[in-house]
Amino acid sequence: MDVKLPIYMDYHATTPVDPEVMEAMLPYFREHFGNPSSRTHVFGWTAESAVEKAREQISHLIGCKPMEVVFTSGATESNNVALKGVAWAYRDRGNHIITTAIEHHAVLDACGRLEKEGFDVTYLPVDRSGLVDPFHVEEAITDRTILVSVIAAHNEIGTVQPLAEVGRICKARGVLFHSDAAQALGKISLKVDDLQADLVSFSAHKVYGPKGVGSLYCRMTRPAVKLVPLFDGGGQERGRRSGTQNVSGIAGFGKACEVASRVMAEEGNRLTELREYLKSEIFRRIAGVYLNGHPERRLPGNLNLSFARVEGEALLLSMKDVAVSSGSACTSTTMEPSYVLLALGVRDELARASIRFGLGRWSTKEEVDYTVQKLTERVERLRAMSSGWPATKGRNVSVQDTPS
């Protein structure tokens, strides 16, 4: 097959910078290198106007006011400031936070830290497809609850949560609502007013922008969200995030959002089609394959499968010229089964034998064909090699009829 190797199929871990984004960044390394806080000369003004332009580009994509966008170093920081910043600012009102069992570590570990400080955290369960039940959110809210945090679209299993329903419940109960939307930005429609979200975290490198830059949407009216900043310093970003802004990175992030607004609908359709093709080809050619996550409510480029009767680690390693991953990038160096798949009720053996395929802007049908071919060969060989497992052809099942 005529395809350039290695193939990148891990667009949830990170994405390459779009050439258009790269172009938009370059001037801010050289001739326009100024500090946006320099108020006395044109170098500062030029840098400031680049930051403000990016703020507008992002606010356009998510439907908010530019001043509600706070630039950060990425979604990890945004999640940390959303959780800790709100917890510390509203401590006198209550000490209860609600989140889910399948959040990214940046949310889970920030919650863990807050628990050590005396906050109570409820980790809501999810169903077989990874969905949170908004009714469970409603039930968990008490008069001590200050914040609900639910991931928008999942980095491992791609499941898209019913955020608008959760947002409506939070609003009705006067509880702040945060969402980690690092994977959702630029992939699915995400308007903060539709979701009734008060805080939303984003990362540039998941949307064809550079690494090390992100933002936090922070609602400024009805309600005006209070935050205790993580850093003390020069008071940049209206005091919400001190430190000289990453001007070139921010300019790139802004451009990445502009490109996303332009191509999102068409790219979403193309990737959904390509993903369904990848899925149907794998199911057609390999027995004992299980779909993880929701069959329809998922990110266009995401496919997460478990392969019965193979050692997951061995399968991944044998796919050397196709970059895919098991679980989330951050935990794939360990042999532990994915905590996300376990939370879905996937049995241990299958949770250890999962592969996440992440398709993106430059994925092609040829790459998918190559991947299916390689995968078929490898799974067959591994199954033949392992003596304990019979090479019988089982029935393929999707999540709905998977026995729990």
Ligand X SMILES: *Cc1c(COP(=O)(O)O)cnc(C)c1O
Strand 7-8 and strand 322-323: the pairing is parallel
Q: Which stretch binds ligand X (CB under 6 A): 120-128, 188-196, 202-210, 377-385?
A: 202-210
Member of 36, 74, 300, 358 binding ligand X (CB under 6 A)? 74
Could you say which of 96, 178, 206, 356 contacts ligand X (CB under 6 A)? 206
Cβ atoms of residues 158 and 302 within 8 Å: yes
Of the candidate residues 111, 170, 182, 225, the single one contacting ligand X (CB under 6 A): 182
Contact between 180 and ligand X by CB under 6 A: the answer reads yes
Indicate the residue whose CB is closest to ligand X: 74
Q: Please, what sign has the CA dihedral across residues 57, 62, 65, 71?
A: negative
Q: Give the integer Cα–Cα distance in Å for 24 and 208.
A: 13
Q: Kindly tell me which of 18 and 48 has the beta carbon lying closer to ligand X.
A: 18
Could you tell me if 191 and 164 are in contact, meaning their C-beta atoms sit under 8 angstroms apart? no
CA distance 400 to 397: 8
Q: Is 51 in the site for ligand X (CB under 6 A)?
A: no
Binder of ligand X out of 106, 192, 256, 341 (CB under 6 A)? 106
Nearest to 156 by CA among 280, 281, 15, 299: 299
Output DSSP code: residue 164: H
The whole-angstrom separation of Cα 303 and Cα 295 is 9
Instruction: Kindly give, in sequence order, each residue whose CB lies less than 8 Å from that of residue 295, ignoring residues fewer than 6 positions away.
Output: 129, 398, 399, 400
b/e per residue, 321-338, with b = 16+ CB within 10 A?
Answer: ebebbbbbbebbeeeebb
Does the active-site annotation cover 330?
Answer: yes
343: contact with ligand X by CB under 6 A: no
Among 122, 149, 183, 338, binds ligand X (CB under 6 A): 183
Please give the angle made by the CA atoms of 207, 12 and 165, to the nearest 5 degrees. 80
Q: Where are the beta strands (DSSP E) in 150-284?
A: 176-180, 199-203, 214-218
**183 vs 326, which CB is nearer to ligand X?**
183
Contact region with ligand X (CB under 6 A), list: 54-62, 121-129, 198-206, 348-356: 198-206
Quick one: which segment of 199-207, 336-344, 375-383, 384-392 binds ligand X (CB under 6 A)? 199-207
Q: Is the peptide bond before 390 cis (omega within 30 degrees of 0)?
A: no
Q: How far is the CB of 102 from ligand X (least distance, A)?
A: 10
For the bound state, the minimum distance from the C-beta of residue 213 to ligand X, rounded and expressed in Å, comes to 8
Nearer Cβ to ligand X (206/378): 206
Q: Looking at beta carbons only, is 107 or 305 nearer to ligand X? A: 107
Among 15, 59, 76, 248, binds ligand X (CB under 6 A): 76
Q: Is 294 in the site for ligand X (CB under 6 A)?
A: no
Positions 246 through 275 that interact with ligand X (CB under 6 A): none
In the complex, minimum distance from the CB of residue 205 to ligand X, in angstroms, rounded to a whole number: 6
75 binds ligand X (CB under 6 A): yes
Closest separation in Å from C-beta 183 to ligand X: 5
Site residues for ligand X, 127-156, by CB under 6 A, read 151, 155
CA distance 337 to 402: 18
207-236 residues in contact with ligand X (CB under 6 A) are 214
Q: Which among 45-53, 72-80, 247-255, 341-349 is the span making contact with ligand X, rule CB under 6 A?
A: 72-80
Burial class (CB in 10 A: 0-12, 13-18, 19+), 40: exposed
Report how far apart, in Å, the C-alpha atoms of 380 and of each of 254, 369, 374, 400 are.
Answer: 46, 17, 10, 26
Identified binder of ligand X from the candidate list 15, 95, 203, 363, rule CB under 6 A: 203
3-state class (DSSP) for residue 98: strand
User: Nearer Cβ to ligand X, position 62 or 289?
Assistant: 62
Our CB check for ligand X shows the closer of 167 and 214 to be 214
Q: What is the dihedral of CA 208, 191, 269, 18, to 10 degrees?
A: -10
Catalytic site residues? 330
Contact residues for ligand X, defined by CB under 6 A: 74-76, 104, 106, 151, 155, 180, 182-183, 203, 205-206, 214
